[in-house]
Structure 1
Amino acid sequence: MADNYIALTLTLPCDAQRAWYEITDWNKQGKWMLQTSVWLTSEIESGPGTEIAAFTGPFHKFFPRLKFLGVLDTMVVTNWQPPFICDVLHTGKIIKGTGRFEVVAINDQKSQFNWSEIIWAPRAIFLILKPALYVGVWISLRRFARTLR
């Protein structure tokens, strides 16, 4: 398996503290993530050890009944440095790798959000999936930025 890197950066219309609070509100992520439902799967709600699941697919609201029409991504938070960095380990059957959310203060009214993933998959499969993954995350992050206005 190869390590395959993908990343996006976006300027957000709010301070870093609010950006961090909103981005790490796991149960709200499904409101802006494209075709995705997100929920906590642990009693821990923040910090290392927090477990999160995300189901992405055209009928994500019908999970688990239509689970064959999407992908379940399970994650555990491995690094927690509020309000700047959150690292996760993808632990699912299909999606494996690491992810990072990073918030950087620009000023009192703007912050920068850096999202990155390293996906452990054969290079050929990653190259086929990368354009769709990139576009999906790009749309999702822009939707997120609109919720902050």
Structure 2
Amino acid sequence: MTHSRITVSVNTAARPERVFSVLTDWPRHDEWMVLTRARVTAGDGRGVGSRLAAFTGLGPVGFLDTMEITGWDPPRSVTVRHTGRLVRGTGVFRVLPREDGGSTIVWEEELDLPFGPVGRLGWPLVRPVNAALFRLSLRRLAGLSVSR
């Protein structure tokens, strides 16, 4: 299995506590995460062991990304283990305080590439698109965190 890492970050004027609150409001993910609707499927979504499901796609066309929260450190970080058929690996959101009172939001994914050799060959084309969508999502999260 080949692993690949994506890391993107954005700055926001919002305090870390506010960012973390918006970030972990799972049913509201569609307000900031591009093409994604999330829900809690087990637990309360506020700690290790809770399970989440996020549908990513347009209309009915897409895939289900199932996850388990494996790290919970409010307001600093939340870590998930992707357990779905297509998306597997680890995702981490970090909310780092800045001296000006704002935050830097970091999104890291270490993914097991699907589709064997085809996935490895296609990854150089898909990776920049994923990174751009992740960055756009974080910009939307940052904006929502300031206005909330």
- Return the alpha-carbon distance in structure 2 between the equivalents of residues 7 and 56 of structure 1: 19
Letter in 2 for 1:16: P
Where do 5+ consecutive residues of structure 2 fail to align? Answer: 114-118
1:127 counterpart (114, 124, 135): 124
**Structure 2 match to 1:41:** 41
Residue of structure 2 equivalent to 1:10: 10
Match of 2:67 among 75, 89, 106: 75
Secondary structure class of the residue paired with 1:148: helix
Q: Does the CA-based 8 Å contact 1:15-1:108 persist in structure 2? A: no
- Alignment correspondent of 1:86: 78
> How far apart, CA to CA, are the structure 2 residues paired with 1:75 and 1:126?
22
- The 5 A counterparts of 1:17-56 are 17-56=17-56
1:148 alignment counterpart: 145
Output the TM-score relative to the length of structure 2: 0.88
TM-score (norm 1): 0.88
The sequence identity of aligned pairs, in percent, is 33
Aligned length: 141
SS state at 1:49 partner: coil
Q: Which runs of 5+ in 1 are unaligned?
A: 60-65
CA distance, structure 1, for counterparts of residue 64 and residue 126 of structure 2: 16
Give 4+ residue runs of structure 1 displaced > 4 Å after superposition: none
Q: CA RMSD in A?
A: 1.4
**Is residue 116 of structure 1 aligned with residue 108 of structure 2?**
yes
The answer to which of 17-26 and 93-102 deviates more is 17-26
Partner secondary structure for residue 45 of structure 1: coil
CA distance in 1, matches of 2:99, 2:40: 31
